[in-house]
Structures are given as structure tokens and as C-alpha cells.
Amino acid sequence: MQNQARLQLLGKRFLHELQMLAPLVLLILACLIPKISRGEKTQRYEFFPFSHFPMYSDFDERDYYVYVTDRKDQPIATETVAAVRSTKLKKIFDTELDSIQKKFKKRKDQLSAEQCRPGGDYTVKWLYENASTEARQLFDAGMPMRLYRIYITEEKGELVETPPQLVGEWSAGRKETVQ
């Protein structure tokens, strides 16, 4: 009898805990379920405000960053000029690479600079088209705008950067590169 009473109490407590944490369980499921977005890999699990929060879920042996320059290859401070951080440009470029890598059936880091060009061209074009009138005037003065990529990797206990690769170029009025 005592054991039965104990079990009943345990059961009641368990149900109580479950009831208390029901919103937590629902929110976790809601964050993990959205695999319905039609976008590429980086978009698939995103359904704002739900996300599977993939930041730093994997540490690759190499990673890259991008930056924008004018025709003289002088870097442009994109946040100062157009309120766009280089992290955002990298994400846009990376999303484009998702579809390019499918086409060539290669990993992103195996794609040549030439193969990346449609993604890079689109990224620079996006930056221009989403900029304010003042920012566009500054960009216009330095056309064509270019996108460079640099890989960082570890070699013999030191971080090494590869030489900049031209992965995108665009000027206002120019036709887009076909993917």
C-alpha cells in the first residue's frame, strides 16, 4: 500500500513538473520542427522567430571572410558608408554559394574563384541596391565595386591568411552573371 502511495505521489509530481515545463517543451519543438523553408541549407531551419540556432555548431578547419573594394582595390567601410556589416555580406555570399555548390557538386571551399563569381556579383549588387542615395553616390564614384575573399587556416600552430581572391565584381548598369 505504501509503495503504491509513493508511486502515486511520484506520478503526481512528474505530471506537475511536466505541466510547469509544457511551454518549454512546445517552444523547443517549434524551434526544431521548421524544416519547411524552401531556401538553401542556411535558410532551411529558419522560421522567424523559430530557429535551430546553428551559430558555432561546427568548427571547420578553415573559414573565410569577405570585403568590398572600389575599382582601385581600396577597401570600402561598408558599415560606415551603407550601414551593412561585412558579416551580413558574408552571409549573403555564403547563401549564394549554397546553390552554386549544388550545381558543381563540390564543397564550398573547393569552388574556384571563377565558379563563385555569380554569388559574389550578386552580393555586391545587393549591397548597392539596398544602400541609401548618399551611399550609392559614393559607390558610383568608385565603380566597379569588387568583392574579395580571404581564407584563414591553421598551419603549424599559426593562423595563416590566403591571398585575396576576386569573387565578385559589379557596376551599376552592368548585366548580371548567369549562374
Q: What's the rounded Cα separation, in Å, for the pair 45 and 135?
A: 33
Which phi and psi (to 5°) does residue 52 adopt?
-95, 10
65 binds other proteins (CB under 8 A): yes
- Which three three-digit cell numbers place residue 100? 552554386
| Helices vs strands, H then E, count in the chain | 6, 4
- Which three three-digit cell numbers place residue 57? 555548431
DSSP codes, 120-142:
HHHHHHHHHHTS-HHHHHHHHHT
163 binds other proteins (CB under 8 A): no
115 binds other proteins (CB under 8 A): no
| Shortest separation between residue 72's beta carbon and other proteins, angstroms | 14
Q: What's the rounded Cα separation, in Å, for the pair 65 and 152?
A: 8
User: Which residue, 36 or 141, is less far from other proteins as judged by CB?
Assistant: 36
21 binds other proteins (CB under 8 A): yes
The residue range among 58-66, 107-115, 137-145, 164-172 that interacts with other proteins, by the rule CB under 8 A, is: 58-66
| Shortest separation between residue 87's beta carbon and other proteins, angstroms | 5
Instruction: Name, in order, each residue with C-beta under 8 angstroms of 112's C-beta and a sequence gap of 6 or more.
Output: none
The residue range among 71-79, 100-108, 137-145, 162-170 that interacts with other proteins, by the rule CB under 8 A, is: 71-79
166 binds other proteins (CB under 8 A): no
Residues of span 72-111 touching other proteins by CB under 8 A = 75, 77-80, 85-92, 95-96
DSSP codes, 61-93:
SEEEEEEEE-TT--B--HHHHHS--HHHHHHHH
Binder of other proteins out of 70, 126, 138, 142 (CB under 8 A): 126
Return residues touching other proteins (CB under 8 A): 12-13, 16-17, 20-21, 23-24, 26-28, 31-32, 34, 36-40, 42-43, 46-68, 75, 77-80, 85-92, 95-96, 126, 129-130, 132, 150, 152-154, 157-159
